[in-house]
Amino acid sequence: MTNEEIVAPPPVFQDRKTLLVVFGILQIFLGAICALMVPLMMVSLAVSKFAPSGAAAPMNPGMMMASVFVYMMLAVWFIWVGIGSIKARRWARALILVSAWIWLIGGVIGGSMMLLFTADMFAKMPNTGQMPQAFMIIMKVVMAVFMFIFLVLIPGALILVYGRKNVKMTTEFYDREVRWTDKCPLPVLGLVLLFGFGAVSLLNMVFYGRVVPVFGSLVNGLPGLFIILAMVAVLGYLTRGLYRLDIRAWWAAIVFVILVSVSVILTFSRVNLLDFYAAMNFPAQQIELMKQYGIQDSPIMKLTGLWGLPILGYLLFVRKYFVKTK
């Protein structure tokens, strides 16, 4: 034995702290953009009230407030996880990785549906025949590029970075505490985020006239509000139970997804889309504009009900993580 100081060996991994800081700053930047959208939309709503009558379709205050709510949530999310990434926190890496997968998969499916929908909308747009063909092509290309960047490229980059083994080991080296995200398998944590986000997002329906599709009909007003709050409570229970790997929550999630999917598909097989927007208190001028675009014939809302299929498939995929409660 010698009197030399024993030095711990360096960690056997490539330190990616700089990468975590860079991507943390980028996410804070995204959060700042979302935060700036809030006052911008509020100013737009205020200015629209002074616009000359008939100059443009009036803004729907409910729709505007719902958008403000979404941007506020996104701002808080990106800034929160961005700071966590800069500090190399284990929970931040886990949340960013699973949310990026949800973002990417949802972006590919939803973006594809949106491109099909907008292509049909452009074809039915008034005065489309008077527009130069090159201009229409440019509009479609710009939209496709924009959607690719924000729905595929950004989440894909986050997955590539935060999915790296060295990034995972870097967070474990700088953050030695066992975090709440460590107590739930990552595949299940993605499901927890999905249902938790669904619970918060449902509150947005309050701004849209509290209109809920219920097995072939639309329910609004006070009954609609009760249904929304009940669904939020159910999603809250599912979020908590799925995080705890409770098999009862897993079965309840299966039933919930099936019921909601059937309800949406059945309702929009019977209800005209413009009637749905009218029930949400959209201005008559805006509904008339939608009618000119042929939106009432769009299958977009019925296709929304098919979102339940990939969620059901994923629930079956993560079944192995759930155990019977004692």
Res 109: pLDDT: 81
Confidence of residue 30 (pLDDT cuts 50, 70, 90): very high
Q: Per-residue pLDDT averaged across 77-91, rounded?
A: 95
Please tell me whether residues 101 and 33 are part of one structural domain. yes
Residue 110 lies in a domain: yes
Please tell me whether residues 135 and 19 are part of one structural domain. yes
Confidence of residue 1 (pLDDT cuts 50, 70, 90): very low
Higher pLDDT: 293 or 250? It is 250
Tell me how far apart the alpha carbons of residues 155 and 129 are, in angstroms, rounded to a whole number: 37
Residue 4 lies in a domain: no
Please tell me whether residues 155 and 23 are part of one structural domain. yes
Q: Per-residue pLDDT averaged across 229-250, rounded?
A: 94
Q: What is the pLDDT of residues 45-81, one digit of tens each?
A: 666 666 555 555 555 666 777 788 888 999 999 999 9
Tell me how far apart the alpha carbons of residues 267 and 264 are, in angstroms, rounded to a whole number: 5
Res 82: pLDDT: 96
Res 2: pLDDT: 47
Choose the final residue of a domain: 117, 146, 178.
Answer: 178
- For residue 217, what are the β-bridge partners? 214
Count structural domains, the chain.
2
Res 292: pLDDT: 63
Residue 233 lies in a domain: yes
Residue 148 lies in a domain: yes
Higher pLDDT: 326 or 278? It is 278
Please tell me whether residues 215 and 280 are part of one structural domain. yes
Q: Per-residue pLDDT averaged across 25-50, rounded?
A: 83
Please tell me whether residues 209 and 230 are part of one structural domain. yes
Please tell me whether residues 258 and 318 are part of one structural domain. yes
Residue 239 lies in a domain: yes
Please tell me whether residues 189 and 295 are part of one structural domain. yes
Please tell me whether residues 304 and 159 are part of one structural domain. no
Choose the final residue of a domain: 142, 162, 178.
Answer: 178
Q: Per-residue pLDDT averaged across 138-148, rounded?
A: 79
Confidence of residue 118 (pLDDT cuts 50, 70, 90): low
Does residue 225 register a pLDDT over 80?
yes
Choose the final residue of a domain: 178, 207, 241.
Answer: 178
Please tell me whether residues 153 and 204 are part of one structural domain. no
Residue 294 structural domain? 184-326
Residue 232 lies in a domain: yes
Res 252: pLDDT: 96
Residues in Cβ contact with 114 at an 8 Å cutoff, skipping those fewer than 6 apart? 147
Confidence of residue 8 (pLDDT cuts 50, 70, 90): very low
Please tell me whether residues 191 and 321 are part of one structural domain. yes
Residue 6 lies in a domain: no
Res 237: pLDDT: 94
Please tell me whether residues 28 and 139 are part of one structural domain. yes
Q: What is the pLDDT of residues 167-195, one digit of tens each?
A: 999 999 998 888 999 999 999 999 999 99
Please tell me whether residues 239 and 197 are part of one structural domain. yes
Residue 51 lies in a domain: no
End-to-end CA distance of the chain: 54
